[in-house]
Amino acid sequence: MSAPRTHAAAVPAEPAVPVKPAAPETPTLADLSARLDRAVTRGLTAVTAGAIGRYQSAVLRIGISLTWLLFLLREYPNRGRLYGPDSPWGFDLAKQLVAGNHAFTVLLWSDSRAWFELGYAFAVLASASLLLGWRTRTSALMFMVGVLSLQNRSVFLGDGGDNVVHIMAIYLAFTRCGQVWSLDSRRARRAAEKAAAEAGAEGAPETAPEAGRPAEAAEAGEVPSEGAGKGLAADSGAAGGVLARTASAEGSAPATAAPAAARGRGRAGLDPVGIALWVVFGAVLVGAGAAGKLSTGWALIFWACWVGQAVWWAVRRWAPGEPRTVMDIMGNVIHNGAMLVIAVEVCLIYSTAGWYKIQGSRWQDGTALYYPLHLDDFTPWPALSHALGSSDVMVMLISYGTVIVQVAFPFTLFNRRVKNVLLGGMMLEHASIAVVLGLPFFSLAMITADAVFLPTSFLLWLERLVVGAVTRGRGRTAVVPAQRAGEPEPAAGPPQGAHDSASGSGNGSAPGDGSASEAEPAAGPHPPTALA
């Protein structure tokens, strides 16, 4: 018989000893220094590598020029009484005021009717040219001259929107606002496509997309033309960039051949229209200086810009290496700085307006909106105004809501989602002001200023929407320039706030959605374009 089986007594398992997490190492001074070094490097790269907020600056260009153009066209029958010889603010009074504040206006160079008509027509043409993005740097300077000349002639006209147009007209002269949605960018794209076709015909091997930016090259011009008085402050880029970048969302041409790229980057070609513009503006400066019409300060500004543009052209034509790269970096820094100043200016407009309202008793008791709704000057639709003014609850909610939104807006820039919601509310408020109070130009100017903070991804979605609608209306298939073969189709509908920037961060505080790099469009990569 076999022996009975015996079972070994179970040995109790020892209790697991909890492992204490390792204490985080205290960063050393060297680690902190390395992190700071990397952060500074990233910041400098973002500021110098390219123009930040290209789409936002294009919206600003289009909106401000459209606002001023529509105002000039609507007031064309009354132009003489507003800014001309028939104005209650006479020529002598205007000269006395300008002599004291040193404001710039060409309308006080002569009191003749013909000179005024010429100046008014110049302002209309400059606005239309900037709206279309034709010779953007020259147009931006002409637009600034036209705005300053008319507004400084009669300083007591306006509804608040004229102040926004006045300020933005100056800032636009320092931005690269024609890189997208302009005739300049279309001209550059066609030139790049032509160069690529010529290179393909020669049988040259294709390379990766070169560092040049066709849209910036078109805005810069091939000759000292498009600056005609603007110089480095608005030199919005050369074909020779700082960093190699892929084809951008506005339709930069695909990979180009190396020989064609070298030819385009080596020597700038002739441009008869540009040469003519540059010569004409130089002649105007000579004549104005000889007649003593320009003050010393304004003469130095215009001459420095005019000569600076000639230097830029010379560098593009004869020194396409390091000097051209340095000047391109300078243009990037100036543009990015101008966009930052614009963002700060918009925040100051809202914060000062909000805090001044807080000090008013009518805003404190929630009845401020009641009074303009019962003034004949601000009731284009009396029935609508009286119906709104008769509701105490609506008057109180809108009055308090206006103050809260204006005071809170600068602080909401630190959170993208909250900022986007508040931004939509502010634009809706200004659209309501245009209808209810009859202030369309003020509202359009403020909506344009607000658009500086719109996410780039939203603007790209809007571009695809408009292009698709136009091409469908013409019976053609919509082709977004940034789409390439093999790339995924863009998502339908506007993007969410969480995808506004390439970083995916939830915070943002500046134009282009407040991140150091803007959102990558669904149809292809593009360079960083958001203000840090």
pLDDT at 445 over 90: yes
What average pLDDT does the segment 235-257 reach? Answer: 33
pLDDT score at 476:
60
* Distance from chain centroid for Cα 251: 18
Could you tell me if residue 228 is inside a domain?
Answer: no
Owner of token pair 């695809």: 464
Name 356's Cβ contacts closer than 8 Å, sequence gap at least 6. Answer: none
Residue 313 lies in a domain: yes
Q: Is the pLDDT of residue 453 over 50?
A: yes
Q: How far apart are CA 79 and CA 95, in angstroms?
A: 19
Query: 296-318 vs 322-358: helix axis angle to the nearest 10?
Result: 140
Distance in angstroms (rounded) separating the CA atoms of residues 93 and 82: 14
pLDDT at 21: 65
Q: Exposed, middle or buried, 401 (CB in 10 Å: 0-12/13-18/19+)? A: middle
Q: What is the pLDDT of residues 479-523, one digit of tens each?
A: 555 444 444 444 444 444 433 433 333 344 444 443 333 333 333
3-state SS, residue 171 = helix
Instruction: Say which range, 67-71, 216-220, 388-392, 524-528, has the weakest mean pLDDT.
Output: 524-528
Least confident window among 158-162, 324-328, 473-477, 494-498: 494-498
- DSSP label of 16: P
More confident residue, 518 or 470: 470
Model pLDDT for residues 126-151, shown as the tens digit of each residue: 999 999 999 998 899 999 999 999 99
91-100: b or e for each residue (b if 16 or more CB lie within 10 Å)? beebeebbee
- Average pLDDT, rounded, for the chain: 77
Task: Identify the pLDDT of residue 15.
Answer: 60
The tokens describing 236, both together, are: 């919005």
Triad 339, 341, 343: Cα angle to 5°:
70
- Residue 195 located in a structural domain: no
Average pLDDT for 418-436: 92
The answer to whether the CB of 64 falls within 8 A of the CB of 163 is no
pLDDT tier, 228 (very low <50, low <70, confident <90, very high otherwise): very low
Confirm if 523 and 490 have CB atoms less than 8 A apart: yes
- At 189, list the tokens: 């794209």
- Number of domains comprising the chain: 1
pLDDT tens, position by position, 358-409: 998 899 999 999 999 988 888 899 999 989 988 999 999 999 999 999 999 9
pLDDT at res. 19? 62
**Is residue 56 included in any domain, yes or no?**
yes
pLDDT higher than threshold 60 for residue 437? yes
For residue 225, is pLDDT > 90?
Answer: no
CA 167 to chain centre: 13
- Residue 501's φ and ψ, nearest 5 degrees, are -130, 160
Tokens 């082709």 belong to residue: 479
Give me the amino acid identity at 452: V
* 199 pLDDT tier (thresholds 50, 70, 90): confident
Residue 194 lies in a domain: no
CA–CA gap between residue 73 and residue 91 (Å, rounded)? 23
Identify the residue with better confidence: 108 or 198. Answer: 108
CA angle, corner 168, sides to 499 and 431, nearest 5? 65
Range of the structural domain that residue 56 is part of: 52-179+273-455+502-532
Listed range (117-126, 212-221, 343-352) with the worst mean pLDDT: 212-221
Structure tokens at 29: 């001074």
pLDDT tens readout for residues 161-177? 889 999 999 999 999 99
| Residue 365 maps to a domain | yes
Number of residues that this document lists for the chain: 532
pLDDT on residue 260 = 38
**Does residue 11 sit within a domain?**
no
Q: Is it the case that residue 245 has pLDDT exceeding 50?
A: no
pLDDT over 50 at 115, yes or no: yes
User: 492 in a domain, yes or no?
Assistant: no
Residue 513 gets the label, from left (phi > 0), alpha (psi -120 to 50) or beta, of left
Position 276 scores a pLDDT of: 86
